[in-house]
Structure 1
Amino acid sequence: MRDAYSVETVRAAERALMARLPAGALMKRAAAGLAAACAGMLGRTYGSRVVLLVGSGDNGGDALFAGAYLARRGAGVTAVLLSPERAHEAGLAALRSAGGRAVAAPSAAVEGAPADLPGLVARADLVVDGVVGIGGRGGLRPDAVEVWEAVRAAGVPVVAVDLPSGVDADTGEVHGVAVRAAATVTFGAYKPGLLVDPARGYAGAVHLVDIGLGPYLEGGTPVARALQHRDVAALLPRPSAESDKYRRGVTGVAAGSDRYPGAAVLAVAGALRGGAGAVRYAGPAAGAVTARFPESLVSAGPPSAAGRVQAWVVGPGLGDGAEAVQAVRDVLASDVPVLVDADGLRLMDAGQVRSRTAPTLLTPHAGEAAALLGGVPREEVESARLASARELARRYRATVLLKGSTTVVAGPQEGEPVLVNPTGTGRLATAGSGDVLSGLAGSLLAAGLPARDAASVGAYLHGLAGRRAAPPVTASDVAEELRRVWQDVADGPR
């Protein structure tokens, strides 16, 4: 499990640890880890050229001390100081003592003596971003933008210190210009912005350096969590010797229409790969479903007449006719867990959702989420994924799986960490992929997983299947890969 903590929690842990260490020891720990990561990226440290972009805070101090370590190993290190008068004194002294040098950024240089920033970064092998730390808010300031544009134009790989300057550590939001790094070296704990887009897209490969914060974070609640292989493996439903199809769970699927029979087929495909013992399909696409999956139990009547189920999936490809409206209402009136997706999200009655006593899982993409939030711009949802998922969960008293570049899962319980899926891929941006995910997560619900776990495990497996399917990927390919992905995760590391 990767736990991501708020800036406030991390700062409190740092203060508690620093109180037990000699002055400056924690910064030197962080800088040593940063220098090691930089050396790894360089391959050969001796004779390499490194440029440090140094702001006025501790983030700049980390960069300066790391630069000193690299200079002692033979690198040519130059620090570009955005605020020379406020640069970290001890870090700057260490860099100069090790043979490094410091120059002022163009906007901070005395008149007539600006740093040749374009030439400097053009000759560099690596740039270290130590402009703004985890306490920064908003995009880069104009003087920092000027420096970043020179680096970007040179195309030199960038290592960010703790997180890329200009992104929001707590929310993953990016307001304005921000540094795009090839890698980010973060200290002590993950920050939510390193797990959630859009900020995640600016971080590159994330490397966590252990600086001893662990014991001081134990009392804090993570803001976000990303499941790993072993976490998912522990949650997978496994049949026992006493299992039958009903004990394993029966998934009901109310999906598809005369116009969109494929949505029903894909949702059933996902459900059959999700660990439940059987799938009951109720709807007008019964012929298409049985032609592809003869093991399915089908009926053409309303969902309530389909027979016993342990969870329902409703919505994919339903359309918007009277029968579709009734199917959604019928499913939401049941006393079993329900997953609502696609057309079901448009057709559901908010009051009926809020009044349910059994778990409800909503699975919108950003556009659907924007509509459910009262018609806010889609871009607002995409730029604030954590806040949007939390607000949907609060407003509808349901668990919400918000699909997208980072899939996030928020529960209705206030204070719970948001679960972040680390396996997402652009390959899943294909018609019908969401229908497969709905069936898969619905089947996990029927198998007995709580809504948050069913959503998170479903998203994790779905992402892996998308990654492993041979391109160009179709939804059917994703469904087919789920069997192998499930087995790989269940077997664990070899």
Structure 2
Amino acid sequence: MLRAYRSDDVRQAEAPLLERGVPLMDRAAAALATEVIRRVRALGNRVPGTEVLGLVGSGNNGGDVLFALARLARRGVSASAILTGTPHAAGYAAASRAGVRFADAGTLRSLAESAEVWIDGLVGIGARGPLREPALEIVRELEEVRVGRPVEPLVIAADLPSGIGADDGTVPGLALRANVTVTMGIAKPGLVLDPGRRYAGEIVQVPLGLEEFLPSEPALLSVGARDIADMWDVPGPDSHKYSRGVVGVMTGSLRYPGAALLSTSAALAGGAGMVRYAGPRETSRLVVSQHPEIVTDMGRVQAWVLGSGVNMDDPEAASEVARRLQESITAGIPVVLDAGAITLLGSIDVPSTVVITPHAGELAELLAARGEPLSREEIAAAPSRAARLAATLTGATVLLKGSVDVACAPDDPLWAQGGAAGWRATAGAGDVLAGLLGSILAQWGDELADLGKGHGIPARLAAAASYIHGRAAAIAYGTGRPIVASEIAGAIPQAIGEALASTGE
């Protein structure tokens, strides 16, 4: 499980190590230089003679780059540096002794045009807001050079690409896009969250021994394959269909019958012991014809999926969704609210056992109803903030869908899941995610009902569902082709199986 920490937490964790004399900067510089050498060799180039341009700010990131340049120069690299302020004194001295050439901003373009590698150390993790001069002009000129080069340079960021928010991934202005980010000590949220992660490239984490000094609760977590066994209920010899979780599904309509089929397909594929379908009679026939395992008689359920494809303009349908939501809240049963059903939270507060699954447009509509208008573009620019705001205003757990899915409850850590193939963004994929999430919530339904509150569990399960959904999309995508939502649902069992196999299950 990836754990990311705020920049203030990282700096505080570094302090006791620095007091002990631990050479953190030397370790960081060694890792940075090693990564440059490894990447140069991977491109089939010789290290001696390779031109490397260091972009050096006045902070510790700049010091890391100076010491790295010194190491590279001693290996025969042709190393140059552009300084944007007063450099780290010891790093400057080491680079000077090693023969690193220092140039002024007037030579930036010519150096950038010839260097095979750029190392970005312009600003550190403590920077806030958009880039300011002289870093702003340097990044602007570098991006112009990059576009004009026949072969793009390899850009390696030290700790964080310059211009992105370390704690939230926001990009309030220009930022220098990296191919690789060598992050020191521990990951930062801005490397995981959109839109910042799009500038980070491949993430290489350098252990510095900070772990024992970091807070027990990270700012952000991300589920990996090896975490799934702790969240998915793997049946044992005494399991039966009721102990494995029963999902109630009220989705679909005459207008959108496919939503019923997709959500129930995913609920079945997610491993629930039973799926009860409570949608319109016409869609019931469709669902049962495709999945004879579906039960249409109502009885005990341990989670509900409400809203996908439901016509909320139909008073009868909207009233039925609202009734099931209120009954579930009273009974402590977890609920997934998708699509139009999310609008029910425009005027009511709910516990965190209610999970809403909006995309940016649906979240904008909900926030406007709550008196906190944000445009779709503003949400996309800072999705973690928007998701946390919605959770705080409604009490619900929010799973904000995007290229990086963000999940959070009002007070618990943020979860972020990225890396899914772009082809996942297809009609019906959200219906599949809602059904899959309902399946895993049902497996935890009795425990959540006993607890009476979410205690962060629904957000963690939402992240797990997002991870499996992304893996299923990758399996359906295969070697690279368009996919449809039904293929994602069909690949869910394989995605779960592969994740469980990674832990020896």
What TM-score do you get using the length of structure 2 for normalisation?
A: 0.90
Equivalence for 1:479: 489
3-state secondary structure, aligned to 1:266: helix
Residue in 1 that maps onto 2:50: 48
Shift of residue 446, structure 1, vs aligned partner: 0.6
Partner Cα separation in structure 2 for residue 34 and residue 258 of structure 1: 58
Separation (CA, whole Å) in 2 of partners of 1:350 and 1:82: 49
One-letter code aligned to 1:265:
L
Q: Which residue does the alignment assign to 2:149?
A: none
CA contact (8 A) 2:120 2:157 kept: yes
Instruction: Report the 3-state secondary structure (helix = DSSP H, G, I; strand = E; otherwise coil) of the residue aligned with 1:52.
Output: strand
- 1:455 and 2:462 are equivalent in the alignment: yes
Is the CA contact (8 Å cut-off) linking 2:140 and 2:174 kept in structure 1? no
1:66 to 37, 46, 68: 68
Q: Residue type of the partner of 1:29?
A: R
Q: In the alignment, which of 416, 420, 424 is matched to residue 428 of structure 1?
A: 424
Alignment of 1:149-164 (within 5 A): 149-152=140-143, 153-154=145-146, 155-164=152-161
SS at structure 2 position matched to 1:328: helix
Identify the match of residue 322 of structure 1 among 307, 315, 318.
Answer: 315
- Match for residue 338 of structure 1? 335
Determine the C-alpha separation between the residues in 1 that align with 2:167 and 2:216.
14
Q: Distance in 2 between matches of 1:493 and 1:68?
A: 42
Residue identity in the other structure for 1:87: P
Matches within 5 A, 1:14-413: 14-21=14-21, 25-43=23-41, 44-83=46-85, 86-105=86-105, 114-115=106-107, 117-152=108-143, 153-154=145-146, 155-217=152-214, 219-284=215-280, 285-298=283-296, 306-319=298-311, 320-334=313-327, 335=331, 336-346=333-343, 348-354=344-350, 359-374=353-368, 375-412=373-410
Take 2:37 and 2:363, find their aligned partners in 1: how far apart are those partners?
44
Q: How far apart, in 2, do the equivalents of 1:420 and 1:291 lie?
A: 37
The aligned amino acid for 1:137 is R
The CA deviation at 1:209 is 0.4
Q: TM-score, normalised by structure 1?
A: 0.92
Amino acid at match of 1:407: D
Deviations 1:70-98 (A, max 9, x none): 11111100001122xx1112111111211
- CA deviation digits over 1:421-452, x for unaligned, max 9? 13433221100000000000001011116312
Which letter maps to 1:393? A
Cα distance, 1:453 vs structure 2: 2.7
For residue 45 of structure 1, report the CA deviation from its aligned partner: 1.8
- The Cα shift of 1:330 comes to 1.8
Aligned length, in residue pairs = 469
Consecutive unaligned residues in structure 1, runs of 5 or more: 106-113, 300-305
Partner of 1:302: none
2:453 alignment partner in structure 1? none
Give, in whole Å, the separation in 1 of the partners of 2:183 and 2:266.
37
Equivalents in 1 of 2:157, 2:174: separation in Å? 15
- Measure, in 1, the Cα distance between the counterparts of 2:9 and 2:161: 19
Letter in 2 for 1:104: D
Instruction: Say if 1:195 and 1:19 are closer, same or farther in 2 by CA, change over 3 A.
Output: same
- Secondary structure (helix, strand or coil) at the match of 1:460 reads helix
TM-fit CA distance, 1:324: 2.2
- SS of corresponding position for 1:92: helix
Q: Summarize deviations over 1:149-205 as a string: whole Å, max 9, x none.
A: 333223312101110011110111110101110010011111110110111111010
* Unmatched runs of 5 consecutive residues or more in structure 2: 147-151, 446-456
Render the CA deviation track for 1:432-490: whole Å, top value 9, x for unaligned: 00000000000101111631232111100001111221321100110111111111011
How far apart are the structure 2 equivalents of 1:249 and 1:67? Answer: 58
Decide whether aligned partners of structure 1 residues 103 and 359 sit closer, same or farther in structure 2, where only a CA change above 3 A counts: same
Contact 2:345–2:366 at 8 Å: present in 1 too? no
* Aligned positions of 1:429-444 closer than 5 A: 429-444=425-440
Provide runs of 4+ in structure 1 moved above 6 Å: none
Q: CA deviation at 1:66?
A: 0.5
Output the aligned Cα RMSD. Answer: 1.5
Letter of the 2:91 partner, please give it. Answer: G
Distance 1:45 1:4, change over 3 A: same
Q: CA deviation at 1:350?
A: 4.3
What SS does the corresponding residue of 1:469 show, helix, strand or coil? Answer: helix
1:303 equivalent in structure 2: none
Instruction: Find the aligned partners of 1:99 and 1:138 in 2 and give their Cα distance.
Output: 35
**2:476 is equivalent to residue 469 of structure 1:** yes
SS of the equivalent of 2:203 reads: strand
Tell me if the contact between 2:403 and 2:418 (Cα under 8 Å) persists in the aligned partners: no
